[in-house]
Structure 1
Amino acid sequence: MKKELLRIGILCSVFGFTLSANAQEYIDKKITEKNRNISLVTFKSDANLKSASKTDLFKEILQLPAGTELRLAKSEKDAKGSFLDEKYQLYYNNVKVEFGNYNLHYKNGNLISMNGEIFDTKNVSISPKISSQSALDRAIQNVGAQKYMWDDAESNVDNYKKPAGELVLLPLQQVDESYKLALAYKFDVFASQPMSRAYIYVDATNGQILLSDAIIKHANGSKHNVLKNELDTDKIVSEVKDSELKNTISKLATGNAATRYSGTQSIETSLNTAGTNYILYDTTRGSGVRTYNAKKSTAIAGAVDFTDADNDWTATEFDNSTWDNAALDAHFGVEKTYDYFKNVHNRNSYDNNGSLLRSYVHYGSNINNAYWSGSYMLYGDGDRTSNFNVLTAFDVTAHELGHGVCSASAALAYQRESGAMNEGLSDIWGAVVEETYLPNKQAFTIGEDITLYAPYYLRSMSNPKSAGQPDTYKGINWQPATVAEGCATPGQDTNDYCGVHTNSGVLNHWYYVLVQGKTGTNDIGKSYSVTGIGFEKASKIVYRLETAFLSPNSTYMNARDFGIQAATELYGAGSAEAIATQDAFYAVGLGAKYNPNGPDTTVPTTPLNLAATSTTNVSTYLTWDASTDNFALDGYNVYKDNVLLGTTYKTSYYVTGLSASTTYNFKVEAKDEAGNKSAFSNTVPVTTLATGNIYCTSQASNTSFMKIQNVKLNTIDNASTGSTGYEDFSYLSTDVTKGSTYTITITPFWSGTVYPLRYRLYIDYNNNGVFTDAGETAWSQTTASSAATVTGTFTIPATAATGRVRVRVQAAYNQTPTSCSTITYGQVEDYSIDIQDVLAVSDVNSFNQTMIYPNPVKDVINIKAKETGESTYKIYNVAGQSVANGKSIENKIDVNQLPTGNYVIELVNKKGEKSTQKFIKK
């Protein structure tokens, strides 16, 4: 025993003071991202790392350069006292590096893991070239408000001061998803008219606005923006000075409240000092819960108490023309959300410091939103006609306070993937609190009590696609979130901070799958089967993930890695809970699924029958047969001339950006989740055409609210992805005949309100690269339609060019687009049609009336003859050489392998009668 104690003592000493000699031997697992950041380290269970020197730990494992240090910012224990989590902030030469955080995690006193994000501080300047005042002027100019809190006494209830700039180093995302640090001034700019609040980062060298990190997120009154900016909150923790409130009460009481949305409930109230009326002020929870009447004003300093004479807040009294019963929902909802976090996680108010929770109901006039300002909540009354009812529903209050929890813990930046997870976590807490206290409600839908438009909820965690969100990472409905994806600068109106309200669906659905379990196949072709673990365990994993592991700049993949680690620390490695956590992330397209057999060394089968079709001067379309794997296939790598071109989970790949008259060689390999790769497929040489058309750009700026879901045109029946405003499906084609009439059917999709759309179909009939010639607007639905499907007919003119031509389909809200329009809301898709002559033949044998079609032909010649039965054939090139022969099958001859050119075919029927005809191979 003494020897064992001595061994532990020596080990701790070694780790604490001479770590450099032994650092790696204590590490069990280390995850390094492609930008070289070490995001997660776990330590061996027998290491007993109790008294580590933090300086040595960070230096040896994270390799911090000179001048860079991590300083302890916060230390917290969990509800049971088993876990201790220390949070450190990154500094470079005493200048804080924004979003640079690292966390140490202890269980029963032992260091078990560490995680976070640090940034490269090499060659970074910390010498500003403009003053803080000049930078503030730029920030204020950028906001452009009429009034600011520091000069608006009627709204400034917390005595907010004009902000002083903090000099920080701000990481800016690059195309390769690495980060470059920029010296910036950071300002907390709080505007009162119109209300907004954000951290504004101003470049300290040139005054440019680098980032606006929203604190308050709100709708601007537009029908479109209200759908994407609902139920939002700020992320700043501010100190509440409200000591005078307790002087307004004489005693506490329990009242009955006939709420607007949740039936009759018990609430805690207080009798005012005059002893005449009860008010919505509960002092039993932290520093209290108090609900005010803003009286339809935005000047909340003038807000008053709701009052009741007998503490029986009945519908007769409060279900009135001003919807005062909504205040009872807000009060009850905040009380129960406080109870959930206190009773389950031992968290005292949103910041764990017991801060007072104030709600202001009837904020403004007909405002379609709810907010969290950092120290109080604001609830609009909605327009009550087309968008929202009063916004005080139970899951709304939990959503708002959920943002407060995030602000005080993970502090996820409100942009890109971190902002999407910020939204997702608030939705999760809305579902959890609702399930805990009102299990008869719909826990997995958000806002079902307040929305007045189909599908009559804001978001669905069980089916995010029904509200226009993705349920798979970078799957259908995913909005660009990185510079590489096309979102260079997060902005509220233009791109919703790079998709925070849309992409939150991925985290929402992960939580649903973790709780309920699910079997299926996701958007990227991965089949999954997850056994749910229920609300209680899933919520504990989420709480630890959010409060102990996530940091401001975390990504979805970080959340996946950290979530598995949180589940492992709570329930053990290989536990049902840890397995379900990993497999639920796999279900939404993140990472590998759990493998009980350990490392997988079996390679997938080889993809077969690689072929190229629809080749143009700049593109070609590759297809192949699917591979299989013993555990989990992870897609295919596509190579062009032995260089990796891209990765796909489908058995097809559309190659663009090629050069005319150039030969390329393509091949494909399959890969599995363990990194094993198959042998290469057959190599396919492709020579692009010498000439071809390049078409103008037409694209929608936003597909979040409405888009094209499906297009049917003759044999084309295509489900759109809807991830961008333009989809190139020109490799999909269908044969049409001159003089014939065809129908196009378009199925639109709306994520919320059904807005009327206009549609147009363009066909480049003369194949000259534009859609503006006479007759090329093939069909137009100029009267806006809200129909579930729209159809139109068009006739191929006899003068149309023979062969393949481009087709453009547009759906647009509030505009009739031209062929090259930029559409604000809607979508644009391109397809192709192959125009055939009316049974075009070069020579017809009048005796037996044998005909071939189509001509020109792409792949299969069809034979139509008076004499039934199969024919033998010979095909000759223009030099008279025989290039193919055989027997027709079901009156069809496959000529797909013939090079492009002119040919002669000789057909002999079963009677020996011959027919010789010319045809063109495309």
Structure 2
Amino acid sequence: MKNKLISAFLIPLLLGVISIHAQRYVEQKIYGDDGRSSFIIFNSGTAARDAALSDSENFFSEIFKLPPGSKMIKQESAKLFSDFSDEKYQLFHNGIKVQFANYTLHFIKGNLVSMNGEMYDTSDVNTDANISESMALANAVKFLGAKKLMTNTEHGNDIGYTPKAELVLLPVESSDVKFRLLLAYKFDIFSAEPFLRSYVYVDAKSGDVLLNDPIMKHAGHESNSHSGDHEHFIGAKKRAAINLAPAFVAGNAETRYSGTKTIETTLLNGKYVLRDNTRGNGINTFNNNNGNYSNLSNTDITDNDNNWTTAEHNPSGNNTALDVHWGVEKTYDYFKDTFNRNSYNNQGAVLNSYIHVLSNWENAAWTGSAMVYGDGASTFRPLSAFDVTAHELGHAICQSTAQLAYQRESGALNEGFSDIWGTVVENKYAPEKQNFLIGEDITKVAPNYLRSMSNPNSGLQKQPDTYKGTYWKDASNSCVPNQNTNDNCGVHSNSGVLNYWFYLLVSGGTGTNDIGNSFNVTGVGFDKAAKIAYRLETSYLTANSNYNNAMTYGIQTAKDLFGADSPEHKATQNAFYAVGLGTAYSGGGANPGTDTQAPTAPQLSAGSTTQNSTLLSWSGATDNISVTGYDVYRGSTLISTTSATSYTVSGLSPATQYTFTVKAKDAAGNLSVASNTAMVTTLSSGGGGNSTSYCTSSANSATDERIANVTFADINKSSTGTTGYENFTSTIGNVTKGNSYSISITPYWRSTKYSEAYAVYIDYNKDGDFTDNGELAWSKTAGTTSPVSGNITIPSAAITGDTRMRVIMRYNALPASPCGTYNYGQVEDYTLRISPSNSISSLIGGELANENQNVITVYPNPVKDIVKIKSQSDSEYNYQLVDSRGTVVLSGVSISQSINVESVPAGFYIINLENGKEKATVKIIKK
């Protein structure tokens, strides 16, 4: 079997010499290692665009001098971000697909700016098969050692699996030419015993196996419990969505690894089940009852009241299903909300998950139709943690976009991107976790995490942080990929290089790498780094891309998105240099490096903290007029880069302490020292505020009329949002029971003034709805007055703490309900912070004055154990310590004007003080 597990994947190629006629379009060519160009940058203007769009067949033929019978056929068009779009083309010869020969055209603001891909010589190919498909299938099955295919199994029938061949032309490395195209049968071999799945290519003339490209991706930890130790595989078909008549509802889930979360469930036959049809074609989680893979069981996990508690579901281990269900939902949300990607295939593919697969199975897998999770054994706990689910769906996205072959460097990139998405999604929705560690929740043995992106040399699975540096595994042409003996030439080990690149791109760093290069990277934060990674993977990389391709295209991606010589371009290039690829940034800009004086540090403060967010604000660096922006850090992690002097941090966990700093940077790349540290403790979760799941309410259209401004208490919120619903729960209005506050709502009309009605709902009893008596706080019948105004009095029976206020503007009629949808208008949600009625205004600093001007000081604040009271009366006080839900958690009489709060959990509280003559209320933060 000479040249069988081939090196056909090493270098993306372009065929031929660019014709003289085509030179009119081309500005620059970047060549692959074999001397053939792989990346073409076009001249500015519309000539190349017009040629490509008007006659793509002639355009490609002119560029590549394609022989008769060969043509590029458009496969898909994709719109990325606001100004970017791609068109992907596949090469066919005499109607037969040339495997891996594809090209992507890149458009920015409608103009064709570049294209890249792989191309192979089709001038001398034979398309006649000598062996039958059945014989080729037998050879493929024998090669893999498959004893039982998924054909005619319950799961195989469920997904419509059949090992039907596709005839393709496969590039194979040859002795006389770089690559020769051989006619091959391509099979999707899905084996139940042993558990594996691969694309196997069989020579249609000789019957030899030419290539084995694993579809399943294993976790990088070799388990002894089962021979089929795999983490991820992709199938050709999708399970059909489960049709359900009942409505989907929000449930409360106490997950095993991520705390209490809100999940979407379904009421079915009187019980709630883990089925969510609000995302794509459905997200469903089932119990496989420790069965095998071939007969996956659609057994629902049920709950009687949609409050999925640990006490109910942990004894059976079914609380792992809650992690899976929530994790898949939030991973779907990230890609949909951030990149408008509808499931992994961007067509809403259903996502089914199964827990309790096999007994003591130390792995998890994505099958293309389902995810399966083992319960773990000696090395791992149940493999259902958040970064595992995001990692799995990351593989699926790669399969639907770059299709990086699972061997050598392309396979390492495949694994690296999955770790990147595991980290990005975890940071978005669970920032309290150790985001740059992979598998920290599930790993039992020291060092208690599988991989580290910030220090790849550490971890259960040690990886290189430098290209071909320490811990690098052989990925050269001489390495024959084998899943069992060499990790397909180091796909899990060598992914550490991409992991460390991404870590530096996010957070920055300095040092000297394994090949002696000193580096200095200024991070750009998670959002920008993820945008660069997503475009690199989905627009530029191809099946056989290697690390040098990733560097070339990664730098180009940063230029596309943020401009040449931008801070993002510099950071991307310097991060690649830090991991041993390319050169450090040295050009562009106005004499970069001549200005070496860093800006002064900003002065930072925090406020408007809720259960899930806080508002950071800081003074600008006024002594340096060249300041271009600010880097915001949570702990040591860079979370945002902004030109503004404020930033709302969202996605925080309730009752959790965080520290934040800010650094200023100037046009020369100088970075200030860190600001003062702002310590924030988010509010405790509970009955109201942002932690409660409220019914949805929205207008179908806010184009012609919407809310322009809401003023109430200390809320003064202007909005230009054009969606039917705006979530402003990070905007807080402070009110006191018994007091009356004016409400003013200003409408916006695009042209015609329409008649609008208004309603304001407040959840005074914090039970998660607006249907109780008095919770329609104010309304106004339809009219064209602008603004409309009135008064709202906070009832004395209202519960102290944070709760939800909903403002509705509806065309021509009062809303019939605080929930549901209507045609025209807008809905906005806010947070109200309700304080007890008293004659003294509370102050977060801890100093109050009563009506007799007796100054009362409560300190320290934040407090760790003992609260001190200082007042002129020098008397003791009766006290109550009230949490954010309005519950009294501590009461008594102060001793020596001190209150011991050591026993209460960290969080936000209100202390009520009273001594018969004086009353006072103060907010404190317990550390």
> If the length of structure 2 is used for normalisation, what is the TM-score?
0.59
Aligned ranges 1:138-177 → 2 under 5 Å:
138-153=139-154, 155-156=155-156, 158-173=158-173
Aligned ranges 1:404-483 → 2 under 5 Å:
404-466=396-458, 467-483=461-477
Matched, 1:590 2:581: yes
Equivalent position of 1:640 in the other structure: none
What's the offset of the Cα at 1:420? 0.9
Equivalent position of 1:64 in the other structure: 66
SS at match of 2:489: helix
Once residues 219 and 349 of structure 1 are traced to their aligned partners in structure 2, the CA distance between those partners, rounded to angstroms, is 22
Deviations 1:317-375 (Å, cap 9, x if unpaired)? 1111x311100000000000000000000001111101111100111111111111011
Equivalent position of 2:275 in the other structure: 281
Distance 1:181 1:454, change over 3 A: farther
SS at match of 1:374: coil
Distance 1:453 1:231, change over 3 A: farther
Once residues 225 and 572 of structure 2 are traced to their aligned partners in structure 1, the CA distance between those partners, rounded to angstroms, is 34
Distance 1:350 1:424, change over 3 A: same
Distance 1:598 1:262, change over 3 A: closer
Equivalent position of 2:9 in the other structure: none
Distance 1:498 1:175, change over 3 A: farther
Deviations 1:353-401 (Å, cap 9, x if unpaired)? 0111110011111111111101110011111xx2110000000000011
Counterpart of 2:523 in structure 1: which amino acid?
G
Once residues 28 and 574 of structure 1 are traced to their aligned partners in structure 2, the CA distance between those partners, rounded to angstroms, is 19
Structure 1 unaligned spans of 5+: 1-18, 601-922
What's the offset of the Cα at 1:233? 1.4
Distance 1:330 1:364, change over 3 A: same
Deviations 1:206-245 (Å, cap 9, x if unpaired)? 2222221111234799547999x97731244523323xx2
Once residues 396 and 176 of structure 1 are traced to their aligned partners in structure 2, the CA distance between those partners, rounded to angstroms, is 45
- The partner residue of 2:381 within 375, 389, 397 is 389
Aligned ranges 1:708-747 → 2 under 5 Å:
none
Once residues 370 and 60 of structure 2 are traced to their aligned partners in structure 1, the CA distance between those partners, rounded to angstroms, is 38
What's the offset of the Cα at 1:62? 3.0
Equivalent position of 2:126 in the other structure: 125
The answer to whether the 8 A contact 1:235-1:411 is kept is no
Counterpart of 2:359 in structure 1: which amino acid?
S
Once residues 406 and 327 of structure 1 are traced to their aligned partners in structure 2, the CA distance between those partners, rounded to angstroms, is 25
Matched, 1:370 2:361: no
Distance 1:176 1:501, change over 3 A: farther
- The partner residue of 1:314 within 309, 314, 317 is 309
Equivalent position of 1:265 in the other structure: 261
Equivalent position of 1:43 in the other structure: 42
SS at match of 1:361: strand
Counterpart of 1:58 in structure 2: which amino acid?
F
The answer to whether the 8 A contact 1:199-1:213 is kept is yes
Once residues 461 and 246 of structure 1 are traced to their aligned partners in structure 2, the CA distance between those partners, rounded to angstroms, is 41
The answer to whether the 8 A contact 1:104-1:115 is kept is yes
Once residues 175 and 590 of structure 2 are traced to their aligned partners in structure 1, the CA distance between those partners, rounded to angstroms, is 33
The answer to whether the 8 A contact 1:370-1:379 is kept is yes
Please identify, of 185-194 and 334-343, the stretch whose mean Cα deviation from structure 2 is larger: 185-194
The number of aligned residues is: 568
Q: Root-mean-square deviation (CA), in Å?
A: 2.5
Distance 1:213 1:87, change over 3 A: same
Equivalent position of 1:578 in the other structure: 569
Equivalent position of 1:495 in the other structure: 486
Equivalent position of 1:353 in the other structure: 347
Once residues 117 and 64 of structure 1 are traced to their aligned partners in structure 2, the CA distance between those partners, rounded to angstroms, is 14
The answer to whether the 8 A contact 1:219-1:368 is kept is no
Deviations 1:525-560 (Å, cap 9, x if unpaired)? 222111110100010111111111111111111111
Once residues 23 and 510 of structure 2 are traced to their aligned partners in structure 1, the CA distance between those partners, rounded to angstroms, is 40
Distance 1:209 1:234, change over 3 A: same
Distance 1:223 1:196, change over 3 A: closer
Once residues 597 and 217 of structure 1 are traced to their aligned partners in structure 2, the CA distance between those partners, rounded to angstroms, is 41
Matched, 1:194 2:194: yes
Matched, 1:380 2:380: no
The answer to whether the 8 A contact 2:160-2:237 is kept is no
Equivalent position of 1:398 in the other structure: 390
The answer to whether the 8 A contact 1:257-1:314 is kept is yes
SS at match of 2:371: strand
What's the offset of the Cα at 1:288? 1.3
Distance 1:216 1:54, change over 3 A: same
> If the length of structure 1 is used for normalisation, what is the TM-score?
0.59
Deviations 1:443-476 (Å, cap 9, x if unpaired)? 1111111111222111111111113211111112
Equivalent position of 2:549 in the other structure: 558
Equivalent position of 2:853 in the other structure: none
The answer to whether the 8 A contact 1:544-1:566 is kept is yes
Once residues 559 and 225 of structure 1 are traced to their aligned partners in structure 2, the CA distance between those partners, rounded to angstroms, is 36
Equivalent position of 1:246 in the other structure: 243
Matched, 1:23 2:52: no
The answer to whether the 8 A contact 2:184-2:202 is kept is yes
SS at match of 2:237: coil
Distance 1:578 1:65, change over 3 A: farther
What's the offset of the Cα at 1:45? 2.8
SS at match of 2:243: helix
The answer to whether the 8 A contact 1:235-1:374 is kept is yes
Once residues 73 and 257 of structure 2 are traced to their aligned partners in structure 1, the CA distance between those partners, rounded to angstroms, is 47
SS at match of 1:234: coil
The answer to whether the 8 A contact 1:472-1:522 is kept is yes
Once residues 60 and 382 of structure 1 are traced to their aligned partners in structure 2, the CA distance between those partners, rounded to angstroms, is 56
Once residues 225 and 434 of structure 2 are traced to their aligned partners in structure 1, the CA distance between those partners, rounded to angstroms, is 25
Deviations 1:580-616 (Å, cap 9, x if unpaired)? 111111111111222216999xxxxxxxxxxxxxxxx
Equivalent position of 2:298 in the other structure: 303
Matched, 1:331 2:325: yes
What's the offset of the Cα at 1:60? 3.2
Once residues 430 and 220 of structure 2 are traced to their aligned partners in structure 1, the CA distance between those partners, rounded to angstroms, is 32
What's the offset of the Cα at 1:22? 4.7
The answer to whether the 8 A contact 2:42-2:113 is kept is yes
Equivalent position of 2:865 in the other structure: none
Counterpart of 2:231 in structure 1: which amino acid?
D
Distance 1:226 1:421, change over 3 A: farther
Deviations 1:70-91 (Å, cap 9, x if unpaired)? 21111111143x2220111122
- The partner residue of 1:74 within 59, 73, 76 is 76
Deviations 1:752-774 (Å, cap 9, x if unpaired)? xxxxxxxxxxxxxxxxxxxxxxx
Once residues 174 and 563 of structure 2 are traced to their aligned partners in structure 1, the CA distance between those partners, rounded to angstroms, is 38
SS at match of 2:572: helix
SS at match of 1:464: coil
What's the offset of the Cα at 1:120? 2.5
Counterpart of 2:64 in structure 1: which amino acid?
L
Equivalent position of 1:718 in the other structure: none
The answer to whether the 8 A contact 1:84-1:106 is kept is yes
Structure having the higher Rg: 1
Once residues 554 and 21 of structure 2 are traced to their aligned partners in structure 1, the CA distance between those partners, rounded to angstroms, is 28
The answer to whether the 8 A contact 1:533-1:577 is kept is yes
Distance 1:521 1:224, change over 3 A: farther
Aligned ranges 1:517-536 → 2 under 5 Å:
517-536=508-527
The answer to whether the 8 A contact 1:37-1:118 is kept is no
SS at match of 2:156: coil
Once residues 31 and 490 of structure 2 are traced to their aligned partners in structure 1, the CA distance between those partners, rounded to angstroms, is 26
Counterpart of 1:260 in structure 2: which amino acid?
R
Kindly, what percent of the aligned residue pairs are identical?
51
Counterpart of 1:24 in structure 2: which amino acid?
Q
Aligned ranges 1:175-186 → 2 under 5 Å:
178-186=178-186
Once residues 436 and 197 of structure 2 are traced to their aligned partners in structure 1, the CA distance between those partners, rounded to angstroms, is 30
Once residues 19 and 211 of structure 2 are traced to their aligned partners in structure 1, the CA distance between those partners, rounded to angstroms, is 39
Once residues 139 and 148 of structure 2 are traced to their aligned partners in structure 1, the CA distance between those partners, rounded to angstroms, is 16
What's the offset of the Cα at 1:49? 3.5
